[in-house]
C-alpha cells in the first residue's frame, strides 16, 4: 500500500472517499465538505453515525462517498475498525481518499492507515482465477501528518500480513524446516541474527518435547531462533511461539471436522517471528530473542503413544496421556531455552486449548502468568494494539491437576474442566523464576467470518500486541 498526504482534495486521484460521522450524524473533522447536502440521503438509509454503520452515496461529481459511523465517543480501535469497514465498502477501488486521520486522537494516523491496510489483505495464492491487484493508494486529505506514523503503520501491516500468509498456507506447503527457512530468510535480510536447529541439533540440545511431538511425521521438527539487539536496549524480551504446522491429534486422533483448520496451529510461532522482524524494522531500543517451535503432529508407526514419557530440556519429565495435547510439549522445551537467556520477561503465544476458546469466545485471547506487573504490561500492550486479551487465573492449588503417577507431570488435566488452566500450569514448570506471561490465542488466531479489518482465516493476532509490548519498554 502507498500512502500520501494531501493538504486539500484538489489533487486527489481517488474516485472513492471515506469519511467519518459521529452518532446523530455529526460530521467528524474533515467530513463537512463531503456531507453537505447528503442529510436526507443518509436519513433514507437509516444511517445515524452509530459505530459500525456504513452508507455509500454518490456525489454530484460521480465519486463514491463512504460514510462510516464512529459512535458517540471514538477510540483508536474503533477508528481502526471504521477504516477497515470503509475499505471493504469500496473493495474494488485502487485509490481511496480519507479524512479519518483527522479525528482528534493520539494514534489516529497509524490507526487509520492500519485499518485500511489490514482490511486490504487477500490470500489468493491458490485461486486459479485470481488476478494481480494494483497496490492500494491511500490519500490522507487535510490535517497535519507525521510521516513516521505512516512508516510505523506500514511496518506493522507488513508483519501482520506475513503472519496471516503463513497461517493460511496449506500444511503441505509449510513443513517445519520449510517455514523456518522462509522466516529466516526474511529476518536475515532485515539484519537479525538467525539460527535454525534441525532434528540432530534438537537431540543434542535435549529438546525432548519437540522431538517427541515430531516423531510421528516424516517431516522433522525445527526450531527457529531470531535475535535482535537495538541500540542501548532498555530491556531483554524473550518471545516463544507454538508452531504445529498441522495437528491431526497424533494417535489421539481428532475428529475429521476438527482437523479442517489445523493448519492454523502454528499461528503463535509465526506471530512471534513476525513481531520480532517488525520490532527490528522499527529500530526499537530493546533486545528480543524469539523461539518458534515448529513440528508436525501426525499418527504413524513412529508416533509417540499415550503413556510415553518425555524429558524436556530442563530435565523435567512429562507423561503423555493425550497426544493431542502436544503444543505444551514443544513449548516446554522452548520456554526452558528462553529462561536460560535470563530475559526480563518471557511471553509465549499459542493456539493452545479449545477450552480457552470455549471460555472467552473466538475474538478474545486468554492471559496467564506468574507475575502481575508483567501480566498488566501485556494487557496494556494488547489494548494499545487493538487486540482483545482477558486475564485468567493460575492458582497454585490447582497444580495437582497435572500430577502424574510415573513422571513429574502429565500433559492433561482432570477431565474436561479447567483445560486452559491445566495447560498453563504445565508451561509454568519451565520458566523458572523469570517473569512470564502465556497468551492462549486459540480463538482469535483464525476466524470463520471476516469482520471490520480482520479477514476470514488467519488474522495475525498477537503481532501488534508484541510490537506494542516492545515499545512499552522504550
pLDDT digits 0-9 by tens, 290-340:
999 999 999 999 999 999 999 999 999 999 999 999 999 999 999 999 999
Asked whether residue 82 carries a pLDDT value surpassing 80, the answer given is yes
d(CA 157, CA 136): 13
Residues in CB range of 200: below 8 A, 6 or more apart: none
pLDDT reported for residue 92:
87
Per-residue model confidence as pLDDT tens digits over 220-265: 999 999 999 999 999 999 999 999 999 999 999 999 999 999 999 9
pLDDT reported for residue 43:
96
Asked whether residue 459 carries a pLDDT value surpassing 80, the answer given is yes
Asked whether residue 10 carries a pLDDT value surpassing 90, the answer given is no
> Domain 2-142 is of which CATH architecture?
3-Layer(aba) Sandwich (3.40)
Residues in CB range of 433: below 8 A, 6 or more apart: none
Asked whether residue 150 carries a pLDDT value surpassing 90, the answer given is yes
Residues involved in catalysis: 254, 328
List the one residue out of 66, 54, 53, 51 whose CA is nearest residue 16: 66
For the chain, domain boundaries: 2-142, 155-472
- Segment 437-456 shows an average pLDDT of 97
pLDDT band, residue 474 (cuts 50/70/90) = confident
Per-residue model confidence as pLDDT tens digits over 429-438: 999 999 999 9
CATH dotted code for 155-472: 3.40.630.10
pLDDT reported for residue 377:
98
Asked whether residue 7 carries a pLDDT value surpassing 80, the answer given is yes
pLDDT reported for residue 414:
87
- Segment 107-118 shows an average pLDDT of 98
- Segment 183-210 shows an average pLDDT of 98
pLDDT reported for residue 187:
98
Whether the Cβ atoms of residue 360 and residue 449 lie closer than 8 Å to each other: no
Asked whether residue 11 carries a pLDDT value surpassing 90, the answer given is no
Reported as half-sphere exposure (CB side, CA atoms, 13 A), residue 232 has a value of: 1
**0.95 exceeded by pTM:** yes
Question: How does the average pLDDT of the chain come out, rounded?
Answer: 97
List the one residue out of 177, 193, 366, 187 whose CA is nearest residue 274: 187
Asked whether residue 444 carries a pLDDT value surpassing 90, the answer given is yes
Amino acid at each position: 500500500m502507498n500512502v500520501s498526504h494531501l493538504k486539500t482534495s484538489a489533487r486527489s486521484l481517488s474516485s472513492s472517499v471515506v469519511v467519518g460521522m459521529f452518532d446523530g450524524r455529526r460530521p467528524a473533522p474533515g467530513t463537512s465538505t463531503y456531507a453537505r447536502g447528503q442529510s436526507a440521503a443518509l436519513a433514507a438509509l437509516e444511517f445515524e453515525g452509530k459505530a459500525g454503520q456504513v452508507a455509500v452515496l454518490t456525489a454530484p461529481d460521480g465519486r463514491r462517498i463512504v460514510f462510516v459511523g464512529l459512535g458517540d465517543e471514538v477510540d483508536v480501535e474503533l477508528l481502526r475498525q471504521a477504516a477497515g469497514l470503509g475499505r471493504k465498502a469500496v473493495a474494488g477501488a485502487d485509490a481511496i481518499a480519507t479524512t479519518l486521520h483527522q479525528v482528534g486522537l493520539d494514534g489516529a494516523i497509524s490507526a487509520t492507515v492500519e485499518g485500511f491496510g489490514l482490511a486490504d489483505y487477500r490470500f489468493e495464492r491458490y485461486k486459479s482465477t485470481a488476478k494481480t491487484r494494483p497496490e492500494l493508494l491511500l490519500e490522507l486529505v487535510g490535517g497535519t501528518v507525521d510521516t513516521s506514523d505512516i512508516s510505523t503503520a506500514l511496518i506493522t501491516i507488513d508483519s501482520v500480513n506475513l503472519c496471516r500468509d503463513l497461517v493460511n498456507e496449506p500444511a503441505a506447503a509449510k513443513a517445519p524446516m520449510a517455514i523456518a527457512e522462509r522466516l529466516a530468510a526474511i529476518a536475515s535480510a532485515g539484519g537479525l541474527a538467525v539460527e535454525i536447529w534441525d532434528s540432530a541439533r534438537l537431540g543434542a540440545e535435549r529438546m525432548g518435547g519437540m522431538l517427541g511431538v515430531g516423531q510421528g511425521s516424516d517431516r522433522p521438527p525445527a526450531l527457529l531462533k531470531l535475535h535482535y539487539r537495538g541500540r542501548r536496549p532498555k530491556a531483554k524480551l524473550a518471545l516463544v511461539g507454538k508452531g504445529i504446522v498441522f495437528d491431526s491429534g497424533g494417535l489421539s486422533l481428532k475428529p475429521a471436522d476438527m482437523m479442517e483448520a489445523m493448519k492454523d496451529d502454528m499461528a503463535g510461532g509465526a506471530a512471534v517471528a513476525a513481531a520480532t522482524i517488525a520490532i527490528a524494522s522499527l529500530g526499537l531500543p530493546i533486545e528480543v530473542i524469539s523461539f518458534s517451535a515448529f513440528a508436525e503432529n501426525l499418527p504413524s508407526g513412529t508416533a509417540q503413544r499415550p503413556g510415553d514419557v518425555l524429558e524436556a530440556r530442563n530435565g523435567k519429565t512429562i507423561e503423555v496421556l493425550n497426544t493431542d495435547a502436544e503444543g505444551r510439549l514443544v513449548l516446554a522445551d522452548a520456554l526452558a531455552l528462553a529462561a536460560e537467556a535470563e530475559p526480563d520477561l518471557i511471553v509465549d503465544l499459542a493456539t493452545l486449548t479449545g477450552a480457552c476458546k470455549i471460555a472467552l469466545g473466538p475474538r478474545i485471547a486468554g492471559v496467564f502468568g506468574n507475575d502481575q506487573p508483567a501480566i498488566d504490561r501485556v494487557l496494556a500492550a494488547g489494548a494499545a494494539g487493538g487486540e482483545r486479551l482477558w486475564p485468567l487465573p493460575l492458582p497454585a492449588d490447582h497444580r495437582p491437576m497435572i500430577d502424574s503417577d510415573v513422571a513429574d507431570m502429565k500433559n492433561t488435566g482432570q477431565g474436561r474442566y479447567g483445560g486452559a488452566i491445566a495447560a498453563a500450569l504445565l508451561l509454568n514448570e519451565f520458566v523458572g523464576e523469570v517473569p512470564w506471561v502465556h497468551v492462549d490465542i486459540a480463538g482469535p488466531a483464525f476466524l470463520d467470518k471476516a469482520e471490520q479489518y480482520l479477514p476470514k482465516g488467519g488474522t495475525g493476532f498477537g503481532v501488534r500486541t508484541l510490537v506494542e509490548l516492545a515499545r512499552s519498554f522504550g
